[in-house]
Amino acid sequence: ASEPALLAEQLRAASEAAAEPVGVASGLVKWANGRGGKDNITVVLARVTANLNGTPRAEEKD
């Protein structure tokens, strides 16, 4: 598994290099293969349109 900060950096780089989601996913798979991944590499992308900064976390109910 990759460190979250490193993965976020790669996601930004892949997003800048490709305009379409399939291109972003391909870039991330290429990066994972370059780091030694041989199989079972999965990329899931989701578009988030809401600003979640500052949104309070839902409290768990018993």
Question: What is the gyration radius of the CA atoms in the chain, in angstroms?
Answer: 15
* Alpha carbons 62 and 52: distance in angstroms, whole number: 25
* Alpha carbons 16 and 35: distance in angstroms, whole number: 20
Q: How confident is the model over 2-60, as pLDDT tens digits?
A: 788 888 888 888 888 988 889 989 998 998 899 888 788 888 888 777 766 666 656 65
pTM (whole model) above 0.85: no
- Domain spans, the chain: 1-46
pLDDT of residue 56: 60
CA distances from 4 to 9, 26, 51, 58, 59 (A): 9, 19, 20, 23, 25
User: What is the residue-averaged pLDDT of the chain?
Assistant: 81
Per-residue pLDDT at 61 exceeds 60: no
